[in-house]
Structure formats: C-alpha cells, structure tokens
Chain A
Amino acid sequence: MSSTTRRMIGVYRQYWRINVLTTLEYRENFLMWFGFTFVYHGSAIAALWVVLSRFPSMNGWDFRDMAFLYALWMMGHALHNTFFAAIGDVPEHIQDGEFDRILVRPLNELFQTITMPGQIFPDELILAASFFVFATWYSGVHVGLLFIVMVPLIVIGGALIDLAISLVIATTAFWFIRVDALRWIVLQLEQEFTRYPISIYSRGVKLMLAFVFPFAFMNYFPAAFFLHKTDTGLALPAAVGLLTPLIGVVVATLAYIFWRFGLNRYQGVGH
C-alpha cells in the first residue's frame, strides 16, 4: 500500500469519526433532519399510493411495481447522499474562497471535497434499505441469484450516476461560479421524473433520461428487467437493465475527466 493510500484511509476514518461525533452532539438537529428525510420519501410514496389506488395501472405498472421502482432509485440516491453529498457544496466553497485552500493541500482535490466534515449520518441509507426490502417483498419480484448479485452492483452504479451528475454540475461552477439554478433544475428533474416509468414521456424526454442525464439506468431499466416489463420505452432489449454498473463507471469516469479539466483551468474568484 502506498503512503498516499494509507494517508487517505486515515483521513477518511477521521472524517467519519467527526461526522458521527457531530451527529451525536447535535442530536435534536439530527432528529429533525431525519424527520425531514422520512417525510420527504414518505410523502412521495404516499402520493403514488393514493393516485394508483384510484388509477390502478400506469402504462402497465401498478403500485407494487412503482414501489419497487422508487425503492431502487432511493437506494442509489441515498448511497450517493451518504458518501458524496459534499460535492454539492463545491460552488459554495468556490464562492467563499474555501476551495482555494483545498488546492494548496497535498491530497487529491476531489477526495478532500468529499471528506469535508459535515453532519452526515447513514440514516437515509438505512431508511432506503428498509424500504427496499419491503418493496422487494411487496412487488413479488423473483429474488434469484442474479437479483442478489446484480442489485448491489446496480445500486452502486446508480450512486455513480448521481455522482457523475453532481460532479459535472460542481465543475461548471469553476466557470460560472453560481450554478444554483442548474443544480436545482437537474435535481428536480431527477426526483420527479424517476418516479414514473419513462414510457409515459415523449421521445425527447425518454432519450434525455436514458442518455443525457442517465437517471433511467438508476431505476427504470433495472426495474423493468426484474419485473419482466416488456416495454422498455425505447425499444431496447430488456437486458440493458443490467448495464447500470457499467454506465455508472463510464459516466463517473467521464465526469472525473471533466472535473480535472475544469480544475486545471480554474483561476479562483479573487480572494
């Protein structure tokens, strides 16, 4: 093991220690934010349940299918939020000059960004895993060897897709400084459009969700594969649902290359 790797592991361990200690220190605040996470996902699922109890089928998907669809997205998204959420703060760090400090320290900039201590706790991930177990049982999806092997990889792939998107947005802040609007719109696109099977959208939106912001690989394609839905919305073979880990690695790598590119051109904002 190289000394850099050993140092990174040490930093990472410290990072989680500080996170846990902060959470324990501000317990009320943590509970309040946990309440928020719970209500956020709870209200989304409740809304799906109410609407689908009135209209039992959405392009052939019933509430059980949609619960699984949501759970799969929730897992990838929560995994991203737990380990990479700090990337969203990059524009802020650039604005207040904090990012310039990262540049002069002798450690990978992205690694430093990710390990900015905050008040991170894997509560959303635990919530997501619980709901995922429930939704898997409830949807009656067949849990075979393929499912057990592929689902963790798909979830990691989903988190990498999320990571790639937030890294690209963070990188644009090197040029445009304030990217709140962009970040917000993409986030909304993800949260609201991944809830439904993409087959309900027009062709342009489908293509965008599959290939520009590949959120469809986080949940729609894999869910369609495991639930044996014939219509994948873009007439692609069902097995594309298993490509999520590959797509995740590819887009995260591309995003990292873009990040390095932006980093090399970054001039600072004049602090």
Chain B
Amino acid sequence: MIATRPYRFRLEPYIEFAKKAIARESTYRFEVFTSIGSFVVRVYLLRMVWTALYARNAAPEGLPLHAIITYSTVALLMGLVLDIDQTRLLHDHLHDGTIATDFMKPINVPLYFFSDGTGEVLFHAALIFPAILLSLFLVHIDVPSAFVLVMFLISFILGYFVGFFINFILNCIAFWTLEISAAQLILTWVTDLFGGELFPLVFFPLAVQNIIFALPFAAMFSTPLLIYVGQIRPERYAEVIGVQVAWVVVLAGASWVMWRFGARRVVVQGG
C-alpha cells in the first residue's frame, strides 16, 4: 500500500533502516573475527573450568556436567546477540548532535533506533551458526525436545526485549549526561554476573538468590537458559514467562517516560 499523507505510518523505511544497519555492521570484519574468536576461546575455557570443578566436588542437584556445559555454551551463543548494545546509535546521535535532525525527519524516532538495532542484532545473530559449528568441535551440546526448544525461543525473544529496553533507558541517560561509556561497561559486567550468563543463578546463596531473581537481568539470560536445560519444569513456564512479559511492559513504560523527558530537553536546548 502506498501512503498518501506525508506523516502516515509506513513500515518500509524502518525495514530499510534495518538493512542499512546490517550493511554497516558487515563492514566491521575485525569485529566479526573478534567475536567469533573470543567465543571459541571462552567455550574452551568454560569446558576446562567446569570439568575441573566437577572432577573434585559433588555435582549440584539436576545439573550434571553435560548440563552445565550445555548451559554455558548456550549462554555464550545467546551472548553473541544479547551482549550487543542495540541502541548505541541513540547515544552516538546524542553525542554528536545529529539527534536534532532526526527529530525533523518524518519518522518515529524511537522506532528508527529500534529498527537500526534490530538490523545490527540480526547480523550478529547470523554469527550464531558458524559459532555453533565451531563449538561442536569443543563441546557436546544437549538438545531438548521440540516443545522445550520452542519455549526457549519465546523466552529468549522476551529476554532480548528486556535487554533492549535496559539499554534504551541507559542510553537515554545520555540526554542529561552525554557521556555514559563507563556506565555501559558497568552494566555489561552486572548483566554477566546477575543475568546468569557466567553460571546458573541457582549457584548464588539462597538469600542472595531472592534478590537476584527479582532483578530484570535474570529475565534476560537465566529464564531461557533454565528452560533449556530443564531446571525450570513445564508447569512453571506460565509463571516465568509471565514475569518476563511483566518486565518487558515495565521497562517499555520506563523507556517511554525517559524518552519523553529526554526528548523535551533537546527541544529546550534548541536542538
């Protein structure tokens, strides 16, 4: 359908934004090599670490060695996608001032950043396939039933949105501070630890677990991963996925508020 009015919503521009982001990302060959290279190195490392730990200690309940290696490998594969800051463009545009011209364009600006980020993520998602092939040389990955796999994918996508909105909120802070690199790196380490990317959150002491499972980071990595390795049984799917949906809604709301107030600041400064 062809739009007749100038400001009517059309999807095509956003698809083009995403395509452009894919093309841009594919020019950074070095980054592709580093992410694949570092992935392989980390798969090797985690295999050695878990093997050494399981060799001399009793295995935790429900998590034999092959399950924990599967967990960590799938976590690293998810990290190829989830560890990207999909809204970096927002921060860049705030930094160099081009945000002002973004507002003049007949587009929905947040959606523009979303489609750009989606393009970036889709490009990196394609790296998952060579990464899986390479990791199969190093480790054995358990594959659950088709039903569990589908639930994992749903939960993974929800986790992606949780991560997207957390990044979006953080990048919105640049409306006020302009510089957020350190905060972003801090967030990366916090997500690694409290999101369950490094090891299952059930390894934390019980008292700490209660706090950590109440944070949004657990909805990024931990929920899909625990579904994948079977630590979360099917009878709890509705509950854990409900929590993920709730986080997406809350964080989307917070993003909207941050965006409204932030965008107003640009106008006040006169762009």
| B215 CB to nearest chain A CB (Å) | 14
Q: DSSP majority for the A interface?
A: helix
Partner of B193, one of A46, A178, A180, A184: A46
CB-based A-B contact count at 8 angstroms: 85
Separation of A192 and B38 alpha carbons in the complex (Å): 11
Against B, the Cβ 8 Å flags (1 = close, 0 = not) of A119-150 are: 00000000000000000000000000000000
Question: In the assembled complex, which residues on chain B have CB atoms less than 8 Å from the CB atom of A202?
Answer: 48
Which residues on the B side are within 8 Å of A29 (C-beta)? 179, 182
Task: For A202, give the chain B residue with the smallest CB separation.
Answer: B48
With contacts A39-B189, A43-B189, A202-B48 known, is A53 near B33, CB below 8 A?
no
Interface residues of B in 197-233 (CB under 8 A from A): 198-199, 203-205
State in angstroms the CA–CA spacing of A56 and B203 once bound together.
Answer: 12
Check: A185 CB closer than 8 A to any chain B CB.
yes
Nearest-CB distance from B59 to chain A (Å)? 9
Against A, the Cβ 8 Å flags (1 = close, 0 = not) of B43-65 are 01100110111111100100000
Is there an interface contact between B41 and A188, defined as CB atoms closer than 8 Å? yes
User: How far is it, in angstroms, between the C-alpha of A59 and the C-alpha of B53 when the chains are bound?
Assistant: 7
- Partner pick for A181 among B30, B48, B203, CB 8 A cutoff: B30
In the complex, how many angstroms separate the beta carbon of A75 from the nearest chain B beta carbon?
20
| Nearest Cβ on chain B to A97's Cβ, whole angstroms | 21
Q: Which residue of B lies closest to A197 (CB)?
A: B52
Which label, helix, strand, loop or mixed, suits the secondary structure of the B interface? helix
* B4 at interface, CB cutoff 8 A: no
Which of B55, B60, B185, B190 has a CB less than 8 Å from the CB of A54?
A: B60
B85 contacts A by Cβ under 8 Å: no
Which residues of chain A are within 8 angstroms of B55 by Cβ–Cβ distance?
59
Name the distance in Å between A271's Cβ and chain B's nearest Cβ. Answer: 22
Does residue A266 face the partner (Cβ distance < 8 Å to B)?
Answer: no
Q: Is the CB of B34 within 8 A of A184?
A: yes
B203 close to A32 (CB less than 8 A): no
Q: How far is the CB of B245 from chain A (nearest CB, A)?
A: 28
Contact among A36, A55, A189 with B186 in the assembled complex (CB-CB below 8 Å): A36
Interface residue A57 (Cβ < 8 Å from any Cβ of B) = yes
- Contact A40 to B189, CB < 8 A, known contacts A47-B198, A59-B52, A185-B38: yes
Q: Does chain B have a CB within 8 A of A201?
A: yes
- Whether the pair A185, B34 counts as a contact (CB closer than 8 A) is yes
The A-contacting residues of B in range 15-43, CB under 8 angstroms, are 30-31, 33-34, 37-38, 41-42
Sample 17 A-B pairs with CB under 8 A, ordered by A number.
A33-B182, A39-B190, A43-B190, A46-B193, A55-B54, A55-B56, A56-B57, A180-B30, A184-B38, A192-B41, A192-B45, A193-B45, A196-B52, A200-B49, A200-B51, A200-B52, A205-B48
Chain B positions within 8 Å of A, measured between CB atoms, are: 30-31, 33-34, 37-38, 41-42, 44-45, 48-49, 51-57, 60, 179, 182-183, 185-186, 189-190, 192-193, 198-199, 203-205
